[in-house]
Homo-oligomer: A and B are copies of this chain.
Amino acid sequence: SKDDFDLAAVYVSDAQYNRNIFFDTTPQAIRLYLLYNHWGLHILVYTFIVVDLALAIFEDPAVFPLPIWATTLIELVCLTAFTVRLVHYAKVIPRDRFWKDPKNICIIVVIVLSLVDIIIYGSLKATGFFAVRWSRVLRPLLLVNITEGRQLRRAFRSIRNALPQILYVFLLFMFSVLMFSLMALKLFGKKGLTTNDGSPYFTDYLDIVFDLYVLVTTANSPDVMMPAYNSSVFFAVFFIIYILINTYIFMSVFLAVVYNNYKKHLKEEVRQLVRAKRHKMVRAFGVLQERKGEEGPVVTQASWNQLVRLVQPGISNAHRELLWSVSDDNNKGCIGKVAFVQLADLLNMQVIVVKSRPHPLQMWLPSLYLSSPSRLVCRMVRHRFFVYAFDLIILINTVFIGMDEENPLISNAEWAFLALYILEILFKLYTFEPRAFFSRHQFWNWFDTLIVISALIATIINSVLKSSGGYTSRQILDIVFILRVLRLIRVVDSIKRFRAIINTLIRIGPTILTFGQLIVVIYYIFAMVGMELFKGKIRFFDAESTDPDKAFCGNPLLKNSLFAKLNYCKNNFNDVISSFILLLELTVVNQWHDILFKA
C-alpha cells in the first residue's frame, strides 16, 4: 500500500542520511516525520538560531543598541519557533521516547529559563534595578541539542571521551612545570638578577610558575630567559631543557593522546552508524518483502522502482536503472535482503551524469551557431592558449592593482580589465552549455562569475557616487579593492598541483564547518560571561580624542601598564564583537599574558 511505501522510504532515507530517530510508524506520524525532515524547515531552524545568537549584537552592552522591547520581541519569536519545532518532534516520536531523551529536556529547560529570565530582567529594568541577562549563556546549547546538530554532538562526544586521558597528561605536565619552577627559584632567586625593567627576577614562586607557564606557549620567549642567560651561558640550558620537555615533548604526548582517542572513538562511532544503517534497511526490506518461488523473501523491481522514486524524486530513469542493474546482477527481476540493504549506500554515491546536451543557441539559431565564424570562436575558446592569455591578463592586472589607483590611467585601465573578464565569461557561456557551465561541481566558474559581477556592480556604484557629488564611500571602495584582489586567485586553478590542494581543502569543508560551530558554542558562552563581568572596565578612545583617561584606557588600574602602552584598549569585553575578537587573539596565544593582566 501507499503507507507501506512511505514507511519504507522513510527508513531508506534515514539510513541514507544517518538519521537516528525512533519515529512512530502510524501513517499520520510518518507524514509528519517527512515534513519534519524537509530541508526548508532545517534552514528555518538554523535561521532562528542564528537570529537568537545574533541578538547579543543588539542587547546591552550592544554594538548597535536596540530598545529592550525590540530585542525581547525577536527573542520571543525565536523561542516560539523552537517550541513549535519541539512540539512537532513530540508528535513524530512515541511519548515515552520523547521524555527519555535528554536533548529534548535540555531544549525545554533552555526555553523555560529564557522566558523566566526575560520576565525577571524586564520587571527589574522597568523598576530601575540592576539586572543581568544570565540566560544568554544557554543559547548555544540549542545549537548542540537540536536534531540537526548530530555532527556537532559527535564532536563534543569525541572531546569528552578524550578528557580523562588528557587530564592525566595535563597533571603530569603541571607537575613538571611546578618542579621546574622550584628549581628556578632555587637557582635564580638569590642571585640578585633583575629583569629588563629593573624589577627582581624569579624571586617569588607563584610568579615563576606563571612566567614558566607562559613560556610553554612561547609567548614570552626569549625575554624571560635573557636575565639568566646574561648572567651565565649555562642557565640557558635550563630554559632550553624546559622548553624541550614542556613545549615539545608534552605537546607531542598531548597530540598523540587526543589523536589516538579520537581515532578509537571514531572507529566505534562508524561501527555503530553502519549497524544502525543496516538495521533500518532490514526494516524497509521487511515492509516491502514478498514471497516469490522458493528462495525466501524478495523485493520486486516494481516495488523497488516506486521506493526509489519516493526516496529521491529527482532521480533520472537512467540513473535508477543503473542502480537496479548493480543490485540485481543476475537479472532475476527481484532482489534479496543482502542486495536490498546496499541501496542506501548506492543512493549516496555520486553519479555524475554527463549530459551532452546541445547548446541552447544551437536550438534557437542553428544556422548562426553552426556557421564557420561561430565554430572558429568556439574552437578558440576551447584552445589552451585562451587560458594562457587570461592568466597573462591576470598577471598584468596584478601589477596594475599594485600601483597607485589615484592615477587616472590606472583607474581607467580597471574598466578595461573588468570588460575583459566579462568578455571571458560571455565567450565561455557562448561555447559551453550554460547549465553544464554552472553545474554544482564547477566551483571556479561560480567563483569567477560572482566575483566579476560583484566587482562590476561595486565599481559602477563607486563611480556614480564619485561623479555625482565627488564623494567616495570608503566602505564601497574597500569592497571594490577586495573583489579586485580576489579575482587574482583564479590563477591558482591553472596550476594542476595547486588545484589538487584546493580540492582537498574544499573536501574538508564540512569538517571545518562542524569545528566552527563548536568554536562558536564555546566562544559564545565565554563572551557572555566575560561581558557581564568586565563590560565597561576598559574604554577605547579614538585617535582624535584628547581625554586624559586615554593614556590608561579609562581604567586607573592600567596606569603605566604594558597593556595601555601597547595601545590594546580596544581588546575588551564591551560588546559581543570585541569579545569574540579578544577570545580569538587569546587563542592565537601570542602576548596573551599581557592581554589577560587587565582583568
Contact = CB atoms under 8 A, between A and B. Distances in A.
Contacts of A187: 478, 481-482
Interface residues of A, number: 72
A230 interface: yes
Interface stretch (A1-9, A74-82, A105-113, A220-228): A220-228
A567 B402 contact: no
A430 interface: no
A492 to B, nearest CB: 7
A253 B505 contact: yes
B230 A543 contact: yes
Given A402-B205, A581-B229, A247 B498 contact: no
A319 interface: no
A346 interface: no
A589 to B, nearest CB: 6
Interface string A221-258: 11101110111010010001001000101000100000
Nearest to A191: B474
B183 A222 contact: no
A329 interface: no
Given A182-B402, A482-B183, A570-B229, A253 B501 contact: yes
Contacts of A185: 402
Interface in A432-486: 478, 481-482, 484-485
A510 B229 CA distance: 30
Contacts of A186: 401, 405, 481-482, 484-485
A169 interface: yes
Contacts of A501: 168-169, 172, 253
A578 interface: yes
A182 to B, nearest CB: 5
B179 A230 contact: no
A90 B253 CA distance: 44
Contacts of A497: 168
A584 interface: yes
A222 B568 contact: yes
A81 to B, nearest CB: 29
Nearest to A185: B402
A227 B570 CA distance: 10
A565 B205 CA distance: 27
A219 interface: yes
Contacts of A481: 183, 186-187
Contact of A220 (B231, B482, B590): B590
Given A182-B402, A401-B182, A485-B182, A222 B567 contact: no
Nearest to A218: B590
Contacts of A398: 182
Interface string A375-405: 0000000000000000000000010011001
A73 interface: no
Contacts of A179: 485, 488-489
A589 B168 contact: no
A349 interface: no
Contacts of A502: 172
A169 B247 CA distance: 26
A13 interface: no
A501 B176 CA distance: 13
B182 A566 contact: no
A191 B568 CA distance: 20
Nearest to A481: B186
Contacts of A584: 240, 243
A399 to B, nearest CB: 10
A196 interface: yes
Contacts of A588: 218, 221-222, 243, 247
Contact of A222 (B171, B243, B590): B590
Interface in A296-348: none
Contacts of A243: 584, 588
Contact of A175 (B221, B492, B570): B492
A269 interface: no
A478 B249 CA distance: 25
A364 B222 CA distance: 60
A145 interface: no
Contacts of A581: 229, 233, 236, 240
Contact of A570 (B218, B226, B591): B226
A589 B485 contact: no
A236 B578 CA distance: 9
Nearest to A491: B175
Contacts of A172: 492, 498, 501-502
Contacts of A590: 218-222, 590
Contact of A226 (B485, B505, B566): B566
Given A253-B504, A588-B247, A223 B168 contact: no
A312 to B, nearest CB: 34
**In the A-B complex, the 7 residue pairs with the closest CB atoms:** A186-B481, A221-B590, A183-B485, A218-B590, A168-B497, A222-B585, A221-B588
6 contacts: A172-B492, A182-B488, A229-B581, A230-B567, A230-B570, A253-B505
